[in-house]
Structure 1
Amino acid sequence: MKPHPLYINGQFVASESTEMINIVNPGTEEVISKVVDAKDEDVDQAIEAAFQAQKNWEKTPQVDRGLIVRRIAEAIHADKERLAQILSEEQGKPIHEASGELDGAIDFFFYMSEWNRKIGGEIVPSDDSNEQILIQRKPIGVVAGIIPWNYPVFIFARKVATALITGCSIVVKSSEETPNTAAALSEIIHQSDLPKGVYNLVTGKGDTVGNRLSTDARVAIISMTGSVPAGTKVMEAAAQNITKVNLELGGKAPMIVSKHADVDLAVEHIKASRIENAGQACISAERVYVQEDVAELFIDKMIRAMKDIKVGYSLEDDNVDMGPVSSAHHLDKIEKIVENAKKQGAEVKLGGERLDLGKGYYYKPTVLTNISDELEIMKKEIFGPVLPITTYKTFNEAIERANDSIYGLSSALYTNDYNEVMQASRDLQFGETYVNRMTDEATQGYHAGMRKSGIGGTDGKNGINDFLSTHVMYLKYNE
């Protein structure tokens, strides 16, 4: 089994590295491919290719960049079925979710292509009547895009499309767990009109490849999606050159269910949020606060809803609702945090253990009650299909407890009370809050967190601005 090649300066190239990483299908535990843990020399070549390509790419008219981004979107759309199969096989999510992730990625490329005549600066008034102050927005330079394993196609799109439309070249490091989709997307980009060196792909581990990208002075911004510990390492490495960082890290999203909520709607959305990608999403429902007047009703309905979830391997069964978690190591982590919760008094209403299907890394959809905020499961990211539910008396209490976290990425509120919505908009300390809807960000929004959940984002107008530098021109003239 040959490893996937790297993609550097418009060519698929082999690495000199002999260190191989096995890629395991989490639904079957079979090795499906191999990638190399690239050497520093490989990463250096990719950065140099991007650095040289940057000089001409940033001068390419926006309209031309937009056409290339659009053609990439069209090519991904044409190959969507094959790509969804690759994604489901390497990551474990059901084929319908893989197809949905491809839809999101395609939409993101199309959206960014539409900015092809919209990125601009501004003129601000001077204190001198014989002067103009021109604020220019320019491409920031080479982007290092570090992709996670949980949404390897969608996050790829968010980093690559944003880089390309803003006039930045990019070096992508795919996850060492899910590199197959990045390799397939590189084949599509190779067939596009993108000049060589503007897009590059390297594979390997964060401690080697990621660190090399983060410490190179030719890199202008490091855009990384991943865990808080990994983001901390990136920030520390980037500090050597004062390199800008763009980090989307972990979350511990609170779901607040008010006594004024449509309980059925809340159950439907929170269940869907928790089983999507087997709970392995940074905006997934990680903790639920239910007003005590409706708690019994909500918990009863949630248990019944979670009981109906069919778990399995969707490439063998089209009716599967939820697939495996990503790896044996991750399954162990989920099991450990639930076992600790049990020892600390949590009551298992449903699930609470592995699901033995003979092969694969499966965990039963789980509902826990009798939860206090001091428990580890209410503080640490579970990243699995486990729903800890607790109750509250007053709305002020719910807000205060929701905010009591090192994370600040996503939150949700279910209520039909106008005053609660307005109070939440003022007091919730999160990058985004969803009111009476699914936790699924819009392309034109801005997916960014507070506190340890990260810095900056890559979507919408604000994401574009993160990939631009500011140059102020003071234009003095004489009458």
Structure 2
Amino acid sequence: MNLVLDQFKMYIDGEFVDASNNDTFDNINPSTGQVINAVPKATEEDLERALTAATRAQKEWKHVPSSERAEYLFKISDLIIEHKEEFAKIISQEVGKVTAQAIGEVEATAEYFKYYAGWARKYEGEIIPSDRPNENILIFKKPLGVIAGILPWNYPFFLIARKVAPAILTGNTVVLKPSSSSPNNALIFAQLLDEIKLPKGVVNILCGDRTIGNQMALSPKVDMISITGSVPAGQSVMEAAAKNITKVNLELGGKAPSIVWKDADLDLAVKAIVDSRVINSGQVCNCTERVYVHEDIKDAFYEKIATAMKAVTYGDPLADDSVGMGPLITKSSLDSVIEKVETAKKEGATILTGGNKGSSDGYFFEPTVIVDAKNDMDIMKNEIFGPVLPVGTFKTLDEALELANDSDFGLTSAIFTNNTNVMMKFINNMDAGEVYVNRESFEAIQGYHAGWKKSGIGGADGRHGLEEFLATTVAYIDYDLNA
């Protein structure tokens, strides 16, 4: 198929449409600050049409055998790979993601659809023993119904798969709202759905701001609202969903700690920490957001981490595909990072390297390391969402655990050590959904990505992620023993 790369229309009930009032908003390239295109801005009427279509379609879609539903996922995966370069370019343009990372995101998106297609004949119910001699108890797994998905801007393509693939594989239908900062991937993706002739209403895509997101959460036609975003966004959605007691699935912020024990392989630790700090310019929820290094090795670590961060180049990835890092997503994001660094300096932290706005056009900030960081400082408590790495120190493992767990967040964490006892104590006492040992902080499709505390409710990926989209019916079946 040929993608129409200048068609930016919403996809509702199997049709490409503009907003009902023809309203639009601008999509900005963060590397240049220039407008890429105008995007339809959905109205409440558009949302209602999408939800009505999804509700109607789900009544039939849930009866389609799961193996047939899976075939659509396989076709989507194949078309994504066929158009890998186009989608990667859109990601780099909208988000500023460097070329290799953009291509990696597209490939992971295709793999995600393929992975969940493979679950078609694997998810199952149960038979439970009864206390009665003439009874069987059966647990059935059924689709929830209509899923409302709200996407973030930092992984605009992969998160389409995370919201859509397990949902439609299990017989649900979807109304999807991409971020207003990165809508184009979703709008172009709709052409793939149209190409494979996915039944009308099974997946609907519309654009808009938080107002539309809250209206989605308020709707009695929605059976689950799934959002990946900030804590305030999640709180707003959760409050709206409470009106109808709608199920929520929330992946929110993170403040991931990385512990560098005194026996750590410093070269490995530094590379893994830098890789997970500057990926997507530090704008990833499971990025290393703070480091605690054992006092015995802090000087050696400081020298290596400063050298590694200084070596990270930045710039417009479409102008130079060799850069190691792109821009922040918006000017307000850049201003927030600048403010956080200035506050850290005022609170007594020391800039080891970086610390300034980038010299290039666009929303760039230098790769930065801040030392002498204490847990009561803002930069150690709140998400930075930029290429800034604050570093503190510790003397004992108990102290390291206390510092690492001293947070409102609990999404991911990491430790670097060759001591099995240290490793296991950390894993068993860390209050986080994920622990990475001697590697970069990035999850696997077959795992389970879920946060503790304010980092979220529910999760995604793997078998447990699939179950988020399933409801349970228990059937108690009595029969005549004398038959």
| TM-score w.r.t. length of structure 2 | 0.97
Runs of 4+ deviating beyond 3 Å = none
Establish whether residue 244 from structure 1 lines up as the match of residue 224 from structure 2. no
What code does the residue aligned with 2:427 have? S
Partner residue of 1:466?
468
Partner residue of 1:186?
190
2-side partners of 1:141 and 1:246: how far apart? 14
Establish whether residue 438 from structure 1 lines up as the match of residue 440 from structure 2. yes
1-side partners of 2:148 and 2:474: how far apart? 26
Partner residue of 1:420?
422
Q: Tell me the SS of whatever aligns to 2:440.
A: coil
Partner residue of 2:28?
24
**C-alpha deviations, 1:321-350, integer Å up to 9, x for none?**
100010101000000010000111110110
Note if contact 1:9-1:197 (Cα within 8 Å) is conserved in structure 2.
yes
Identity %: 48
What code does the residue aligned with 1:51 have? T
Note if contact 2:7-2:188 (Cα within 8 Å) is conserved in structure 1.
no
Aligned with 2:163 (options 156, 159, 176): 159
Note if contact 1:8-1:49 (Cα within 8 Å) is conserved in structure 2.
yes
Partner residue of 2:459?
457
**C-alpha deviations, 1:46-99, integer Å up to 9, x for none?**
000000000011111010011111111111111011100011001111111100
Alignment of 1:74-473 (within 5 A): 74-206=78-210, 208-357=211-360, 359-473=361-475
**C-alpha deviations, 1:173-203, integer Å up to 9, x for none?**
0100000010111111111131110000010
Shift of 1:120: 1.1
Shift of 1:466: 0.7
What code does the residue aligned with 2:477 have? L
What code does the residue aligned with 1:231 have? G
2-side partners of 1:391 and 1:103: how far apart? 38
2-side partners of 1:343 and 1:30: how far apart? 34
Q: Tell me the SS of whatever aligns to 2:63.
A: coil
Shift of 1:452: 0.3
Q: How large is the RMSD of aligned CA atoms in angstroms?
A: 1.1
Q: Tell me the SS of whatever aligns to 2:127.
A: strand
| TM-score w.r.t. length of structure 1 | 0.98
Unaligned runs of 5+ in 1: none
**C-alpha deviations, 1:117-160, integer Å up to 9, x for none?**
01110001000121000000000110001000111011111001
**C-alpha deviations, 1:384-412, integer Å up to 9, x for none?**
00000010000011011100100010000
**C-alpha deviations, 1:227-286, integer Å up to 9, x for none?**
000000000000000000000000000000001211110000000111100000000010
Aligned with 1:38 (options 25, 32, 42): 42
1-side partners of 2:90 and 2:346: how far apart? 40
Shift of 1:2: 8.8
Q: Tell me the SS of whatever aligns to 1:66.
A: helix
Note if contact 1:222-1:245 (Cα within 8 Å) is conserved in structure 2.
yes
Unaligned runs of 5+ in 2: none
**C-alpha deviations, 1:269-323, integer Å up to 9, x for none?**
0001111000000000100000111111111000001111111111111210100
Note if contact 1:40-1:212 (Cα within 8 Å) is conserved in structure 2.
yes
Shift of 1:3: 8.0
Note if contact 2:255-2:407 (Cα within 8 Å) is conserved in structure 1.
yes
Return closer, same or farther for 1:195/1:237 CA change in 2, 3 Å cut-off.
same
Note if contact 2:8-2:188 (Cα within 8 Å) is conserved in structure 1.
no
**Structure 1 range deviating more: 65-74 or 223-232:** 65-74
